[in-house]
Amino acid sequence: MSQFIDDIDQRTRLVGQNRMELLLFYLGGQQIFGINVFKVREVIAKPTLRHLPGSSPMVCGVANIRGRTVSVIDLARAIGFDPMPVDQNNDAKVIVTEFNRSVQGFWVSAVDRIVNLNWETIKPPPRGTERESYLVAVTEVDGHLVEIIDVERVFAQINNLNLDVSGEIQTLAKQVPHDRHILIVDDSLVARKQIERSISELGFRTESRADGKAALEYLEELAAADRVKDSIELVITDIEMPRMDGYTLTRKIRENAKLKDLCVILHSSLSGQFNIDMVKRAGANDFLAKFDPDELGATVLKYARHS
């Protein structure tokens, strides 16, 4: 299965074209789920697991993967399904992922394939569905519904993230004006709430949108009314989002004469030199890996007005 991501470097070029690749998999039933390939390091056959006393019930155990101890999460259980028996499925796989500055494995019943999609075909999850809160998006592949899991929410359930900005950063924040909003763009509700909390501790008000297209429409409305400079301090945007990704949003902002001077910070669970390079190509001001409240706060203050 490692062949799925052998040419990951080539795939990274898709993101600048508002395209992405989705790894499809199953969780013991017929429903197809997906995860962005950029979050995937490799797919391996089920490893030997060692149980850790006191660990979350969602964690099957830990495995030694390429010399590193990695927690393996029962993804089905994490999103509200029945736990998947660890010892009964010889076809089970572990999707080894890297995001939010952490490496973890997701235990799945089977892996299907990778599909290449345009972000415009990725839609927000239907409201009122049973698993809505665990999904960031849905799409259709060969006539079948694919549910894209909010792995950042899964991560937050298992790991207690510190969301508080330090007193030192809060003190520095008192030196800047707070009369304009910070626009937060992220398809994960959990991620938006995390960012909003940290930003509010700096004294700023926030506006939020769930994807790049909605954010661009909001900014274009402000631009049409000549209200951008009076309304928006800066934009913090995720990279992976339905309909329009963060790179495309940034490029669209730079192409608009009334928006081009906005500060844009790319804030993503993805990391690596690739994203730093794409910051320059897309025209963003900075890149931050999720989620460190002090780093976020310091970066916001770096680009906020000081008079």
pLDDT tens digit sequence for 239-273: 888 888 898 999 999 999 999 999 999 998 776 55
Locate all alpha helices (DSSP H) within 90-179, ordered by sequence. 151-158, 167-173
Confidence band for 164, pLDDT divided at 50, 70 and 90: confident
Instruction: Count structural domains, the chain.
Output: 2
Same domain, 67 and 144: yes
Residue 173 lies in a domain: yes
Say yes or no to pLDDT of 277 above 80: no
70 pLDDT tier (thresholds 50, 70, 90): very high
Q: 296: pLDDT confidence band, cut at 50, 70 and 90?
A: very high
Per-residue pLDDT at 5 exceeds 80: no
Cα separation, 216 vs 221, in Å, equals: 9
* Residue 276 or residue 168, greater confidence: 168
Name the phi and psi angles at 249, rounded to 5: -55, -45
pLDDT of residue 128: 65
Residue ending a domain, among 105, 139, 157, is 157
- The sheet with strand 59-65 has its strands ordered as 40-45, 93-99, 102-108, 68-74, 59-65
Q: Looking at the domain assignment, is residue 162 inside a domain? A: no
Same domain assignment for residues 15 and 66: yes
| pLDDT value of residue 243 | 86
The answer as to whether 35 is a domain residue is yes
206 beta partners: 182
Name the token pair of 60: 């099957």
Considering the domain architecture, whether residues 87 and 189 belong to the same structural domain is answered as no
pLDDT of amino acid 253:
97
pLDDT at 120: 85
SS3 56: coil
Let me know whether 179 and 234 are in one domain: yes
Question: 182 - beta bridge partners?
Answer: 206, 234
The confidence score (pLDDT) of residue 16 equals 59
271 and 101 Cβ atoms separated by less than 8 Å: yes
Domain boundary among 111, 128, 157: 157
Residue 224 forms part of a structural domain? yes
Q: Answer yes or no: do 82 and 113 share one domain.
A: yes
Burial of 307 (0-12, 13-18, 19+ CB in 10 A): exposed
**Do residues 189 and 287 both lie within one domain?**
yes
Question: What is the distance between the alpha carbons of residues 289 and 117, in angstroms, rounded to a whole number?
Answer: 24
Question: Do 134 and 203 belong together in one domain?
Answer: no
The first and second tokens of residue 85, run together, are 């028996």
Averaged over 76-98, what is the pLDDT? Answer: 83
Beta bridge partners of 14: none
Q: Are residues 11 and 87 in the same domain?
A: yes
Confidence category of residue 274, pLDDT binned at 50, 70, 90: low
The winner for highest mean pLDDT among 69-83, 220-234, 272-286 is 220-234
Query: What's the longest Cα–Cα distance across the chain?
Result: 64
What pLDDT is attached to residue 72? Answer: 94
Cα(189)–Cα(192) distance, integer angstroms: 5
| pLDDT given for residue 132 in this prediction | 60
pLDDT at 4: 44
Tell me which residue has tokens 């934009």: 235
285 lies in some domain = yes
DSSP 219-272: HHHHHHTT-HHHHEEEEEE-SS-SSS-HHHHHHHHHHSTTTTTS-EEEEES--S
171 and 297 part of one domain:
yes
Which tokens hold the place of 241? 């989002």
The predicted model gives 211-217 an average pLDDT of 96
The mean per-residue pLDDT over the stretch 273-301 comes to 83
Question: Is residue 233 in a domain?
Answer: yes
Q: N- to C-terminal Cα distance for the chain?
A: 55
11 and 147, same domain (yes or no): yes
The boundaries of the domain holding residue 98 are 2-157
Which tokens is 61 given? 């155990």
Please state the length of the chain: 307
Averaged over 184-208, what is the pLDDT?
A: 93
For position 243, which CATH number holds? 3.40.50.2300
Q: Tokens 């945007």 identify what position?
A: 237
pTM: 0.80
Instruction: Find the CATH number of the domain harbouring 80.
Output: 2.40.50.180
Whether 150 maps to a domain, the answer reads yes
> Residue 191 domain-assigned?
yes
Q: How far apart are CA 179 and CA 285, in angstroms?
A: 21
Q: Are 145 and 186 contained in the same domain? A: no
Q: Which of 128, 157, 186 lies at the terminal end of a domain, its last residue?
A: 157
CA nearest to 240, candidates 290, 195, 305, 294: 290
- Which pair of tokens denotes residue 195? 């960012």
Q: Across the chain, what does the average pLDDT equal?
A: 86
Task: Kindly state whether residues 73 and 174 are assigned to the same domain.
Answer: no
